[in-house]
């Protein structure tokens, strides 16, 4: 029987039959895959912790009847801050869904896996940073998916962006305020374009645009290393990040709906 090991992030856990669990995992080299966890294992404390959703663990597998089974598992990083805060846990579920969406079976995971691990680490370790982490994760995920916005300068006049501007979500470009006024003076922007797609213009302050530029261009390890100090800029950056990712992935996520519902219920 062939045995092998891999470090993997637990994206999903589904009950399977009376006792077993079906784990959806992602590893750097192996990409996304599923493995079965035998019921008896869940009674072992060490393995129960290692196979919780959004845990980074070292797994030992064996193949049987063309299927992967977990032989043993030990947690490398449990992200403990997620386990005591339901809002963070719901956000982690959304991150995991994005990773699922942007990964393939048996193809190397690429940048989306370290991005998610960094996001989970910060979510677990920091308080009061969830909105910033979520928006940076969303924007960078869109970049990884191939939708890098052009954010250095205004798409219309080519001048560097310094103050208030708009993110033209459909076209992945920034437009400065005078140019947007010029555009709308020529012909009012229809909310639904000719192709049936919706025009989305997200207003941004200069600081929010600078954050967007930073996240799109930063070295993979440094994506979250920026600050947004004023509440308005943070709010606009967060709206733009979410709108940009969802528009380009052309879908919504029930996990995001759950997170939003929980946030509105708590505020």
Contacts (CB under 5 A) with Zn ion, residues 19-58: none
Chain centre distance of CA 263:
18
Based on the shown chain and the rule CB under 5 A, indicate whether residue 156 belongs to the binding site for Zn ion: yes
> Measuring CA to CA, which residue among 94, 4, 105, 87 is closest to residue 54?
94
Judge whether 206 and 228 are in contact, CB under 8 Å: no
Nearer to Zn ion, 111 or 156 (CB): 156
Backbone angles phi, psi at 227, to 5 degrees: -125, 150
174 contacts Zn ion (rule: CB under 5 A) = no
Choose, by CB under 5 A, the member of 76, 86, 125, 157 that binds Zn ion: 157
Chain-centroid distance of CA 258 in Å reads 15
For residue 165, the cross-strand partners are: 176, 204
In whole angstroms, what is the distance from residue 194 CA to residue 191 CA?
10
Q: Does 177 interact with Zn ion (rule: CB under 5 A)?
A: no
Single residue of 10, 70, 154, 204 touching Zn ion by CB under 5 A: 154
Quick check: 204 binds Zn ion (CB under 5 A)? no
Q: Which is nearer to Zn ion, 107 or 157 (CB)?
A: 157
Q: Give the nearest distance from C-beta 161 to Zn ion in angstroms.
A: 8
CB 165 → Zn ion: shortest distance, Å?
A: 8
Alpha-carbon distance of 11 to 99, in angstroms, equals 8
165 binds Zn ion (CB under 5 A): no
CB of 154 to Zn ion, least distance (A): 3
Quick one: tokens of 214?
Answer: 């930073």
> Which residue ranges make up the site for Zn ion (CB under 5 A)?
154, 156-157, 176, 179
């Amino acid at each position: 029987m062939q045995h092998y090991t891999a470090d993997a992030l637990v994206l999903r856990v589904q009950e399977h039959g009376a006792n077993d669990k079906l784990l959806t995992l992602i590893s750097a080299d192996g990409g996304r895959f599923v493995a079965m966890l035998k019921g008896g294992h869940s009674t072992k404390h060490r393995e129960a912790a290692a196979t919780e959703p959004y845990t980074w663990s070292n797994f030992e597998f064996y193949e049987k009847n063309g299927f992967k089974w977990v032989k043993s598992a030990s947690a490398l990083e449990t992200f403990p801050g997620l386990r005591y805060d339901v809002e963070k846990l719901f956000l982690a579920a959304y991150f995991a869904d994005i990773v699922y969406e942007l990964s393939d079976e048996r193809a190397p995971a690429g940048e989306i896996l370290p991005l998610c691990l960094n996001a989970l680490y910060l979510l677990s370790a920091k308080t009061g940073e969830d909105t910033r982490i979520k928006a940076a994760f969303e924007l960078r995920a869109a970049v990884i998916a191939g939708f890098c916005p052009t954010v250095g300068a205004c798409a219309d006049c080519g001048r560097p962006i310094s103050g208030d501007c708009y993110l033209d979500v459909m076209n992945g470009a920034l437009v400065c305020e005078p140019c947007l006024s010029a555009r709308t003076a020529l012909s009012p922007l229809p909310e639904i374009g000719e192709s049936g797609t919706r025009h989305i213009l997200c207003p941004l302050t200069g600081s929010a645009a600078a954050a967007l530029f930073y996240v799109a261009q930063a070295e993979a390890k440094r994506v979250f290393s920026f600050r947004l100090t004023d509440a308005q800029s943070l709010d606009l950056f967060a709206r733009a990040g979410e709108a940009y990712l969802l528009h380009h992935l052309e879908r919504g996520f029930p996990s995001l709906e759950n997170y939003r519902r929980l946030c509105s219920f708590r505020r």
